[in-house]
Structure 1
């Protein structure tokens, strides 16, 4: 909301940023950034030791960590108040 005056009175006006987004008009980059702070996904990967493990990525694909197993990955995600998703 923004504050303005009209005829000497203070009036609250809706701001453009208050309007809901139309997801059909988002760019690919904007769409990928949705949920970045809230959703993390897990996929198979190799650990630093060359062992099979799990990679944790943000919703936009940014790598966050590599851990030993799926249980540990989900624990780490939940510990950081994120929602886990698995890619198989």
Structure 2
């Protein structure tokens, strides 16, 4: 399994089991910082929107709807994941 961190270094140890119910920010970042982006419904000053975050939680963008958020993520060669 090829897992890289945001700086390109690999830190996955074969045979390591990660409990997704108790995952740390560092472990989440190692699982796809450059490949996965999360979409989260948020409330802004102008109303509902969808925030796009990197795997480590870093905010990247806002979109007016979930479809547009997913399209932006896909256009940047990443995989969208909805957080609710």
| TM-score normalised per structure 2 | 0.66
Which one scores higher on RCO, CA 8 angstroms, separation ≥ 6? 2
Contact 1:45 1:66 in 2 (8 A): no
1:62 equivalent in alignment to 2:58: yes
Q: Which has the higher Rg, Structure 1 or Structure 2?
A: 1
Q: Distance in 2 between matches of 1:79 and 1:20?
A: 31
Query: Hey, what does 1:51 align to over in structure 2?
Result: 47
Give the count of matched residue pairs. 68
Cα RMSD after superposing both structures: 2.3
In the superposition, relative to structure 1, how do residues 22 and 80 fare at CA in structure 2: closer, same or farther (>3 Å)? same
Q: Runs (4+) of structure 1 moved beyond 2 Å?
A: 19-24
Q: Structure 1: which 5+ residue stretches go unaligned?
A: 1-16
